[in-house]
Each structure stands twice: as structure tokens, then as C-alpha cells.
Amino acid sequence: MLHTVNKSPLDRNTLESCIQHALKGSAVLLIEDGVYGAMQGTQKSPMVESAMKAVSFYVIGPDLKARGIDASRVIDGIDIIDYSGFVDLVAKYDKTQSWL
Amino acid sequence: MSKRFLYVNRKAPYGTIYALESLEVVLIGAAFEQDVSLAFLDDGVFQLTRGQQTDELGVKNFSPTYKALGDYDVNKIYVERESLEARGLSLDDLLPLTYEDEDDDWAEKDSIKLVSAAELAEIMQAQDVVLSF
């Protein structure tokens, strides 16, 4: 399963809830305001770093750039992808669940 | 008689329209010569980050507009320290916002004032009107 999250984890519990329901081997893609969840050194970074042991994390590069988040500030191990990478993920996983 | 207006910004830019709407209201309101302050807390601090580049999203990057606030006599910009720290940010990550102080030979001064949550509570209490975005 591919999970997408589009809300800031510092504003809503969307990412937290997604992580609690993401099974081992699934993927989480951070989009729109969800990309703040990919930042190092925030109150929510430890939650994401811990979840990465079982779940693959991806983040949309153009959404990071729009918000002034340099790639160097993204948590190590999160894959920065573009929109064609988004399409590839949707095709790779059998289902997509959007956490709104 | 001028009133004290505080615009409270708590949302990240681009994901919702709140940040841009707030900025537009502030600029319109600036024409009415009121005593205007802006507060940035919670995800609102993300509005002021440097290096925003929105070309690949096809939306307007409105962050340079914050730099014009000083020219509209909007120069009390309060950023909450706790909100920055929770997001791993510091003042160096924010746009340099300045104004020219007419009472001090037009010296260029910083508009951004870093305040604690407790200080911001007092600033809120001191207003006539609080508008929340």
C-alpha cells in the first residue's frame, strides 16, 4: 500500500495516524504541506525516523523547493522524487490511501 | 483615532490560501494608517522561510512581498521562539525583514522580533482588534 500525506505533522495528527496504520513494507509519500514531515530536527522528526525502520518514505522535491526546504535538511534515507516518481510509486503499489 | 491591529498567522504557505489572504489583507489595511502588528506562530513561521521557489508548482511565490511590509510602515513582526524551535528553525532561516526608522535618521532596522509565547500572549492582550489566519 502507498500512503500519501498532505498535511503538516506540526499542525495536524494526519502523519501520526498514517504511520500508526502503515504496515511493514508499505510506503509513505509526503506531498504539499506534508513535506514538513521530511525535515530534520523538528519535534516530529523522531517519529518519522522511527517509522522508517519498517516503511519507506518519499517526498516531492518541488513541494520542498516551494517551501524553502533545502535537500540537505531532509532526513537521511527519505527519497526525494519528482512527479514522474509519484506516478511510478502509484503504479508500483497495489493500492493508494490518501490521508487528508 | 488609530487602533491597534494584530494579524495572527498560524498556517504554512501554499498548502492552504490563508497565508496569502492574510498578507493581502495586511497590505490593504496598511493604507488606513492603523497601528499594525503581525504575529507568526505554529506553522505560520514557515511563511517567512528563505529560499522559497515555487516555479515547479505553478503558483506565485509571494514570500518576497513580506520584504515590502517595511515600506508600508508595518514593522512590528513578532515571531514566536517556541514555534521556531519546534520546527528546527532559527532566525537565520527566515527572510531578513527591515524598515527605515524615520525617528532615527532613517536607520535600517530589523522588523522581526523574536518573542516567547508568554510575551506574545501579552502582545495579543494589548490589541484593539485581532485578526486570525
- Taking the domains of chain B in order of start, what are their residue ranges? 4-132
- Here the ipTM equals 0.91
* pLDDT tens, residue by residue, A17-65: 999 999 999 999 999 999 999 999 999 999 999 999 999 999 999 999 9
Looking at the structure, give the CATH architecture of the domain made up of residues A2-99.
Answer: 3-Layer(aba) Sandwich (3.40)
CB atoms under 10 Å from CB of B34, counted, come to 17
* pLDDT tens, residue by residue, B10-21: 999 999 999 999
Average pLDDT value over all residues in chain B: 96
Which candidate from B15, B59, B63 shows the least CB-CB separation from A33? B15
What single DSSP character describes residue B49? B
Written as nine digits, the cell of A73 is: 535538511
- Taking the domains of chain A in order of start, what are their residue ranges? 2-99
Encoded amino acid at B13, one letter: P
Looking at the structure, give the CATH architecture of the domain made up of residues B4-132.
Answer: 3-Layer(aba) Sandwich (3.40)
Residue B1: pLDDT over 90: no
A61 chain-B contacts, CB cut-off 8 A: 56
B47 chain-A contacts, CB cut-off 8 A: none
Q: Name A57's bridge partners.
A: A28
Inter-chain contacts counted by CB atoms under 8 A, chains A and B: 69
> Quick one: pLDDT at residue A59?
98
* pLDDT tens, residue by residue, B28-81: 988 888 999 999 999 999 999 999 999 999 999 999 999 999 999 999 999 999
- Alpha-carbon distance of A40 to B88, in angstroms, equals 7
Average pLDDT value over all residues in chain A: 98
A35, A73 in Cβ contact below 8 A? no
